[in-house]
Structure 1
Amino acid sequence: MQHDLDDGRAEELLNELSRLEPQDRRREEIRSELVVMHVPLARYIAGRYARRGEPQEDIEQAAMLGLVKAINRFDPEVGQRFVAYAAPTMTGEVKRHFRDRTWTMRMPRQLQELRLALRGARQEFLREHGRAPTVAEVAQLLGVSEEEAIEVIGASDAYRPVSLDSPVSDEDGGETLGDLIGDEDPEIELVVDRNALRPMIEKLPDRERTILLYRYFGNKTQTEIAELMDISQMHVSRLISRSLADLKTMLLEEE
């Protein structure tokens, strides 16, 4: 399922909004139309934080609040696409929501126990095999299903504080995490029905399947996946591209 955003219409409305006087009643009409246009985007961003101890409705409300803030603050003269500006704003609002709700205290007891078990199991596996375990191996170590293993992995890593000054690579003078904030997520406009893809993902080789599960179900970056799989980030990128091409072929064959 793909959510198509009418960038031309959105740009037209945002330009008009910037020219209106604060008391003009037309401003509310434009804001309302922009909100409706971008509801799918807000739901997609909220969906990336699902099953982490908070009602999905509350997460979506936080994303919607971020959307409204983005509409109110956006300046068309900067030359940035609205989606590229709004997505980080909504994401930030969702993260703020979780911080305010003391997420750790609300985590289900079973998930807390599995998260602690995962920490020790990961370290032991790394010592024995010299690499991080795959999703299937994590599931086997914890005695849970692969879907539950993904949830535990997400819970384990979701709230580990990282400085915005942390380097992305080992190169001197390289980019930091803070340098990357605000970049447009190229997948935002390519939202797919993940449940429909699950049977097809199961047909992929174990390594490719694990990488896709980490990336699209575990919300991990390519750099994080590279560290977990003990391969380069470039190799992760190639494997993701190849796997997505294979999935596309499977989808076309089913039509």
Structure 2
Amino acid sequence: MNHLTTAAERPVVPATRRPTSSSPRSPAPGPGGRRPAKSGRGPAEAATPDAIGREPFTTVRAGATTAQSADTTIGTPRAAPEPGGGAAPATRADALADLPSVPDPRSVPYREARELTRALLVRMAGLEEGTPAHSRLRGMLVELNLSLVKLAARRFTTRTEPQDDILQVGTIGLIKAIDRFDIDRGVELATFAMPTIVGEIKRFFRDATWAVHVPRRLQELRSTLVEAHTHLEQQLDRAPTVAELAEHLSLSREEVTEGLTASNAYAATSLDTPSEDDGALERSIGFEDTRLLQVEENLSLKPLIAALPERERVIIHLRFTEEMIQSAIADRLGISQMHVSRLLSRALTALRTNLTVQSAPPGD
């Protein structure tokens, strides 16, 4: 089966001849001094399409490769009929009929795909962007060169992102390369497209794969630290320290620490991830903080303590803030330990009673 079918391989339908005049003379010139087309020509013969690209391109047959002339016209709007002529304007189907046909572009061998790519680029260069013919050739070029995307995606097989996402982003880079390619520079499309594809994939990793967005400087520093860490780990046979990384990269310790901290923002771990202990990760991270309840109690006790006599406030402060025993409090205040015990008991009873009254609901 042919991978490429041109207009030269299609059957030609003979045009219907118009009745000619009995006079042997040529028709009179029409407006503008031009003579109309001869009546014996059909619509296809009267039109004058722009022939774009005459380089031979390859069609692959069963067991053989033959060169065919790229002399066929492709997708260019046909010339308008001359005044007084009988040529009918070309339709959209006529414009697409001259395009080469590749039934399965992905199955074309690499060498034939390069030759086809070169010929199609030459033809597409003369087409107006956005026309059906231009879009069709653009799609054929993308399918013929998808192997470049797969080749570029192999560099990122160690990433955790799905391979389908990487291939999709690489295909976007291939489309951009085809749109910006200049056939007059004399370079192959693969040479121009590969850096564009790789750059598009790297941009995807930089902008869309970080769990928390960090500045680009820290993203590049993280990549540098990963390479340096791997190199030093093989050289030292152990994990390098921050000082060793800083000396190896000629950076300060603060910069290395900042880069290592930014590395934690690349990927996030779900709280539902099973932990080493029985249960989810969230159970090992969170705990009940009982001190939060003490905040409300302290706010309630503050005005009650301020209402106590000064000596009782001092005793409470020495007992619960400085954590002194009753005998030490008695020595500091110059009173007996029994007296300290009675004063402390009376102050705590008053505070407890007043706090209970405040916390009781209205109406009780």
- TM-score norm. by structure 1 comes to 0.41
Higher helix proportion: 1
- In terms of Rg, which structure is larger? 2
User: Looking at both structures, which has the greater relative contact order when contacts are Cα pairs under 8 Å and sequence separation is at least 6?
Assistant: 1
- TM-score norm. by structure 2 comes to 0.29
